[in-house]
Amino acid sequence: MSQNVVKYATLPNGLTVLVETMPAVQSAAFALLVEGGSVYDPPQQNGTATALADWMARGAGDRSSRELLAELDRLGIQGNETASTQHLVFRGSCLAINLSSALRVYGDIVLRPHLEESEFEAVMSGVEHGLLSIEDEPRQKVMVELLRRSYPHPWGQPSEGTLADLENMTPETVREHYHQVVKPRGAILGIAGNVTLETVLPVVTEVFGEWTGANSRTIPFGTCSPVQEHLDHESAQTQIGVAYPAVAYSDPEYYAAWAAVNVLSGGMSSRLFTEIREKRGLCYSVYATLNTLKDRGQVLCYAGTTSERAQETLDVLRTELVRLGDGIGEDELDRCKARAKSSLIMAQESSGSRAASLARNWYHLGRVVTLQEVRKEIEALTVQTVLDYVHKHPANNFSILTIGPQALK
């Protein structure tokens, strides 16, 4: 695996710029993280960050909404603006020769959005439609609601927002959110592709250098305890969500945690798929994934089944989660490593993946993590190190959420 060069700089206003030079590609991509995600949503206005991300891209600088879209198309920029738990996220990819122009366009979006009231109704309509689609899809809703119950408020509240809070959001409140949170202090700009820091930094300084300030919102931090809840839904199916504590991405045991979850749910030969779906035929879908915040994590599990077999599915799911501590085969770990190496090769060829990873790693770790370092960590895993992690962080203290016609035990 070839070694790409990664360099970084921090502007006087607090914006950190990270650039990974990828000589083998012709593209370039960026990911800008601004501390203004759903945890900063005002009380009873969950969804504000998501609405703001959309609204900011509906006209900016000297371009109307239509002109802005036309310019993005002209430059071949594949971009999107979203909200995550912690951040407003602005991402784009294009040919490397167009990166400077792309950054200037997104500089307008971030620093000079129009936020015109005439566009607000369309923004809110989009947010509402997204939330209604979740309500119509219990498989998605169970995981959204499981996350809400797995982390202390407001860290578990969905970035998509909630239908009940939409009526509390106005153009004035969303504009106020923009003015309070869209600031450079703590913002991170990851760039990857056939570019260098030396060529990119002058453009970034030109575009973002006059941006000033820091996020003025504080985040309350509630408490969280394991729960078991059921949401009634008339259906022939039951959706099951199970969560239990894990470590954060910054934890030294993160890769062991990752391997443990991948033994459970890393493909069609994984434990959950084999034992619950293939051998017993209990469900049509089952998986587990490792979800982390900056200082904590959760393993999130899902199973979708018929209501008649829901209790058995939940029982077997919990059994398999606990049984992981009884032992792991060398063949299971080898398959995890093989899948990880394949993913690393694909990531090495994707400027978009690398730009996002640069920004994410800097946020979680305060440093750059190279693909070579990730590969070394994965290759160093042994059955014993993974089992040591599982024994130290066993599957217990479950939060369980079900959606269907009847509650489970």
Residue 317 included in any domain:
yes
pLDDT tens digits along 346-384: 777 799 999 999 999 999 999 998 888 999 999 999 999
Number of domains in the chain: 2
- Which SS3 state, helix, strand or coil, does residue 371 take? helix
Lowest mean pLDDT among 203-207, 250-254, 269-273: 269-273
Same domain, 239 and 388: yes
Alpha helices by DSSP H, listed for 268-307, are 271-272
Q: What average pLDDT does the segment 200-206 reach?
A: 98
Same domain, 95 and 162: yes
Residue 263 included in any domain:
yes
Residue that terminates a domain, selected from 174, 208, 242: 208
pLDDT of residue 348: 73
Same domain, 245 and 176: no
pLDDT of residue 127: 97
Lowest mean pLDDT among 17-26, 117-126, 139-148, 223-232: 223-232
Lowest mean pLDDT among 14-28, 121-135, 207-221: 207-221
What's 234's domain CATH number? 3.30.830.10
Range of the domain at 84: 5-208
Contact 174, 53 (CB under 8 A): no
pLDDT tens digits along 168-185: 999 999 999 999 999 999
Same domain, 337 and 297: yes
Residue that terminates a domain, selected from 208, 243, 265: 208
How deeply is 86 buried, as exposed, middle or buried, from its count of CB atoms within 10 A (0-12, 13-18, 19+)? buried
Same domain, 70 and 160: yes
Residue 100 included in any domain:
yes
pLDDT band at 269 (very low <50, low <70, confident <90, very high): confident
Lowest mean pLDDT among 3-12, 50-59, 90-99, 195-204: 3-12
Q: What are phi and psi of 318, to 5 degrees?
A: -65, -40
Same domain, 202 and 253: no
Q: What are phi and psi of 113, to 5 degrees?
A: -70, 145
Residue 213 included in any domain:
no
pTM equals 0.93
- Which SS3 state, helix, strand or coil, does residue 27 take? strand
Enter the DSSP assignment of 38.
G
Same domain, 100 and 167: yes
pLDDT band at 258 (very low <50, low <70, confident <90, very high): very high
Same domain, 329 and 189: no
Same domain, 30 and 146: yes
Same domain, 54 and 199: yes
